[in-house]
Amino acid sequence: MQGIYKVGLLTAMGLVLLYAFQGYYPDFMYFFSNAFPPVIAGAAVTVSGLSLGRYWRKAKGRFPVIWLYFTAGLLLWFLGEAIWAGYTLILSVELPYPSAADVFWIAGYIPFFIALFLYVKLFGSVLSKKTLAFSMAATVILTVLVVAALLIPV
């Protein structure tokens, strides 16, 4: 097993144990549950940005543009996570809803959908019309459900 997979497996096992016994240390879990997501989102956007920078000129076709949109979505989600952590950990706002973090989280979907559209369009010639229609319908339905679930409480 490669080293990175071992690290990933150990991290996942550690997180499972941490959350399984969270009732024993609620103060730590409050901090961890608000501080850890921005760290993970920051790591994801950093790795995505580094990969984009490394392969921007080498990759052919639309892959660099697709990856740029994907990275932009990750950046917006990271900003949402960081703002949420700031509200809860620094400003002591228990449940900041709606907040600026929500704006960044929702805005992050725009570049993700553009990346998904470009990616599907890139391989559209090998997909049947029925598969494309089903995928687009499912995407639209799920988007409407998510937007409704997020906007109705506001």
pLDDT digits (tens, 9 = 90+) for 7-65: 989 999 999 999 899 999 999 999 999 999 999 999 999 999 998 988 887 877 788 89
Whether residues 131 and 115 fall in one domain = no
What's this model's pTM, rounded to 2 decimal places?
0.77
145 and 85 share one domain? no
User: Do both 95 and 33 map to the same domain?
Assistant: yes
pLDDT higher than 80, residue 154: no
Phi first, then psi, for residue 127 (nearest 5°) are -95, 145
Q: Which residues contact 109 (CB under 8 A, 6 or more apart)?
A: 73, 143
On whether both 103 and 60 belong to a single domain, the answer is yes
CB 135 within 8 A of CB 117: no
Domain hosting 143: range is: 127-154
| Same domain as 58, residue 25 | yes
Number of compact structural domains in the chain: 2
Model confidence at 150, in pLDDT bands (50, 70, 90)? Answer: confident
**Residue (of 118, 121, 113) closest to 139 by Cα position:** 113
- Both structure tokens of 151: 């906007």
pLDDT (tens digit per residue) in 36-48: 999 999 999 999 9
